[in-house]
Structure 1
């Protein structure tokens, strides 16, 4: 989807205007067919031999699922788990059989987000549009995996899940309508059935209305370090700022909401002379990078794994660390998963 079309749709979906109202009959049809499909798949869902955590959203576009998946994976590993990740593999021609990170973790094989998750966590990753096939292949190849994290798997009900984490952003539920009259894949009431609702906000973005039922957590990303793509040199963020941050910089991002990345940089004290927005999952064009003014060019790790010009000496990939409003929520997740695991083994 082009940025121009995406911006047009986002404008429509912010409010319940006339064009949105005209599309309501299609939304009703979409809701009916989607609910029927989700129920049918759930009736025959495959139950993995290990607990499954689903990270997903009901809002179209990037909400921040990938940093949440990475944070969950790292938190569980720190608590003694051996997580594996399954994903669709968007952007990669996966073929009939699942692809595993064992054969190479590049974006061309796995897709940009699974490649980033594998690089950031070291966890084994399997990709396939049918998450059940990916999960079975991953468990067969890695019998030590004792918990599966399904990235962007909320609507893939053929894979049974023990816990659900829904990620939203500052848009909340938009105008509250289903596609195409609004930005939602499922009705707003779906949020109340999640185990956790993580709201990803930019540095000073206000909190949208949040339903009372799920355990709600706010996530904000902060720069943690920067890696020079051409040399592989890695600096903590304060060291990068001391060395590079005094001069104006450019920033480029091909993610769901590039403005969040730019806002994070500005909040961290970076002066941005130019920004470049690219459609989600697209590679930042080398000629567009050449058109940016002299000085450092900051990009996201997701863009770095598929960068068309990795030897451009101006490019730095900025690593961001999540800050959660409830730092203890991974402990509650850990305990819930241990309960689920005991239920599978029949333990007390």
Structure 2
């Protein structure tokens, strides 16, 4: 229903317009207060790059963060990541991730980024505290914030926005009548726009999510997902249909689709009950980091990697490397 409202297919969005006007008024006032200096912005001693969204829901932001970290590390840049840690609740903040940090503490995306990249990661509702914790523990040249485009309390040196190339901006309205956190005109002030799927426009950077081999959660065995029998597909991401479409494109035979809420806590008994004997559970890597502690033999995940095309990605990386070394 939310997807139909935000896309404009359902007329119910008209009923939510007053709340959207209020959302836009409040968010605009907050942004203006920082621009006028009425609220203080804290600047990190090392450069900060924000990777964020204009819309609610999954746009492919986390794969972009992973791609940036991996590419910058190849260039010899010491980079760390900070996050709000949605879906997690730590006993105290800031929380520096370790190999033993659970998704219940840090949230699924920070744990995924930490496991995939090996880069230092810290979470805190106040991103300034997370940055300071990273810098106290590591000698870093650059900080990437996973989300936080609208977190103006933290000054940033570069802003990168990730856009869903298929859904774009829906009906264009602020939450809750539409998917927008800020209006589309905000793109004019950012440094790069990366479009996940669909067709990039103008100077936008085109990106595709390329699936790898499916990985067994217990054994680590890798196999073509199309070779797995009787699949039940589970996706607890911002836009589950994208994962289901990816499986279809890979030639996988999916018997049942189970969309879950983004950052949803996973109960072992409920996940185990999704399949019957003879079926295979396939999930996203983001779900897998929450399931490792209680995984079954027939549970697999499908990792994806961001693939950026054109000359702009190389230019963006050169700018970030120069920023880190400045």
What TM-score, normalized to structure 1?
0.85
Tell me which of 142, 156, 159 is aligned to 2:154. Answer: 159
What does residue 4 of structure 1 align with? none
- Hey, what's the Cα distance between the residues in 2 that align with 1:228 and 1:308? 10
**Counterpart contact for 2:280–2:298, Cα < 8 Å:** yes
**Equivalent residues, number:** 320
What does residue 346 of structure 1 align with? none
Tell me which of 208, 225, 233 is aligned to 1:220. Answer: 208
Gaps of 5+ in 1: 1-7, 344-348
- Hey, what's the Cα distance between the residues in 1 that align with 2:189 and 2:248? 36
Question: Judging changes above 3 Å, is the alpha-carbon distance between structure 1 residues 25 and 168 closer, same or farther for their aligned structure 2 residues?
Answer: same
Residue 200 of structure 1, CA deviation: 1.5
Tell me which of 14, 25, 28 is aligned to 1:21. Answer: 14
Tell me which of 88, 91, 96 is aligned to 1:92. Answer: 88
Query: Does residue 149 in structure 1 map to residue 131 in structure 2?
Result: no
Tell me which of 7, 31, 34 is aligned to 1:38. Answer: 31
**Counterpart contact for 2:205–2:313, Cα < 8 Å:** no
Tell me which of 44, 49, 54 is aligned to 2:50. Answer: 54
What does residue 183 of structure 2 align with? 187
Tell me which of 207, 226, 241 is aligned to 2:224. Answer: 241
1:1-348 → structure 2 map (5 Å cutoff): 8-15=1-8, 18-41=11-34, 43=37, 44-94=40-90, 97-102=93-98, 104-143=100-139, 145-169=140-164, 170-201=166-197, 206-207=198-199, 210=201, 212=202, 215-231=203-219, 233-235=220-222, 240-241=223-224, 245=227, 247-285=229-267, 286-293=269-276, 294-307=278-291, 310-326=294-310, 328-341=311-324
**Counterpart contact for 1:284–1:308, Cα < 8 Å:** no
- Hey, what's the Cα distance between the residues in 1 that align with 2:294 and 2:99? 22
Residue 284 of structure 1, CA deviation: 4.1
Question: Judging changes above 3 Å, is the alpha-carbon distance between structure 1 residues 16 and 108 closer, same or farther for their aligned structure 2 residues?
Answer: closer
**Counterpart contact for 1:69–1:151, Cα < 8 Å:** yes
Q: Residue 62 of structure 2: SS of its match in structure 1?
A: helix
Residue 308 of structure 1, CA deviation: 7.4
Cα shift readout 1:89-122 (whole Å, capped 9, x = no counterpart): 1122235530001483321221110000000000
**Counterpart contact for 1:225–1:234, Cα < 8 Å:** no
What TM-score, normalized to structure 2?
0.90
- Hey, what's the Cα distance between the residues in 2 that align with 1:178 and 1:102? 37
Q: Residue 307 of structure 1: SS of its match in structure 2?
A: helix
Question: Judging changes above 3 Å, is the alpha-carbon distance between structure 1 residues 95 and 32 closer, same or farther for their aligned structure 2 residues?
Answer: farther
Residue 221 of structure 1, CA deviation: 1.4
**Counterpart contact for 1:51–1:337, Cα < 8 Å:** no
**Counterpart contact for 1:220–1:323, Cα < 8 Å:** yes
Residue 309 of structure 1, CA deviation: 6.9
**Counterpart contact for 1:89–1:110, Cα < 8 Å:** yes
Question: Judging changes above 3 Å, is the alpha-carbon distance between structure 1 residues 224 and 103 closer, same or farther for their aligned structure 2 residues?
Answer: closer
Gaps of 5+ in 2: none
- Hey, what's the Cα distance between the residues in 1 that align with 2:285 and 2:77? 25
- Hey, what's the Cα distance between the residues in 2 that align with 1:246 and 1:117? 26
- Hey, what's the Cα distance between the residues in 2 that align with 1:158 and 1:260? 33
- Hey, what's the Cα distance between the residues in 2 that align with 1:234 and 1:329? 36
- Hey, what's the Cα distance between the residues in 2 that align with 1:223 and 1:308? 20
Greater displacement, 111-120 / 101-110: 101-110
Question: Judging changes above 3 Å, is the alpha-carbon distance between structure 1 residues 325 and 338 closer, same or farther for their aligned structure 2 residues?
Answer: closer
- Hey, what's the Cα distance between the residues in 1 that align with 2:228 and 2:123? 41
Residue 34 of structure 1, CA deviation: 0.6
- Hey, what's the Cα distance between the residues in 2 that align with 1:174 and 1:309? 38
